[in-house]
């Protein structure tokens, strides 16, 4: 499947997103910041990627954290996964949050997130007065064990 991608003017010198390994699920997204951005502990900032995409109908792009940033620095995405809808044509930005104890610096070209293209199933909701019972029933958080 081909997906059109537009490199925005402030990212002309940055590479397009790429798969880091042959069997990677997600493209690495890079920071298209002009100057280094400092994210203090418990602070969040929207970081531009300098790209916009044209997804085919029936697909979405999920923006997910990078595991290395999460483990080493406590950096993750505040809305994880973020969703890019098929009809969105604006710049993809990544909402990073610093859950670590030290300031984190985002520099131009840093790999800050990953983007996974996924199919979307559209459903029709049908209101019902009762739902089919199951063994689990309405039991939620923690009800199936630790």
User: Could you read off the pLDDT of 27-68 as tens digits, one per residue?
Assistant: 999 999 999 999 999 999 999 999 999 999 999 999 999 999
Q: Say if 94 falls within a structural domain.
A: yes
Residue 72 inside a domain? The answer is yes
Residue 67 belongs to a domain with what CATH number?
A: 2.70.40.10
Distance CA 93, CA 132 (A): 41
**Residue 110: inside a domain, yes or no?**
yes
Q: Please tell me the total count of domains within the chain.
A: 1
Nearest to 3 by CA among 110, 122, 84: 84
* 99 located within any domain: yes
Average pLDDT of adjacent 10-residue blocks, the chain of 146 residues: 97 95 95 98 98 98 96 95 96 98 98 97 95 87 72
| Structural domain containing residue 57 | 4-119
């Amino acid at each position: 499947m081909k997906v059109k991608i537009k490199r925005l003017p402030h990212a002309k010198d940055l590479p397009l997103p790429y798969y880091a390994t042959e069997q990677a699920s997600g493209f690495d997204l890079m920071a298209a910041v002009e100057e280094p951005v400092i994210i203090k502990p418990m602070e969040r900032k929207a970081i531009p990627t300098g790209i916009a995409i044209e997804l085919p109908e029936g697909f979405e792009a999920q923006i997910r954290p990078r595991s290395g940033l999460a483990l080493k620095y406590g950096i993750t995405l505040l809305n994880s996964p973020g969703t890019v809808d098929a009809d969105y044509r604006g710049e993809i930005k990544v909402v990073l949050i610093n859950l670590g104890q030290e300031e984190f610096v985002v520099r131009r070209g840093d790999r800050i997130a990953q983007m996974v293209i996924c199919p979307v199933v559209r459903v029709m909701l049908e209101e019902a007065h009762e739902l089919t019972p199951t063994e689990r029933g309405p039991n939620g958080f923690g009800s199936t064990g630790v």
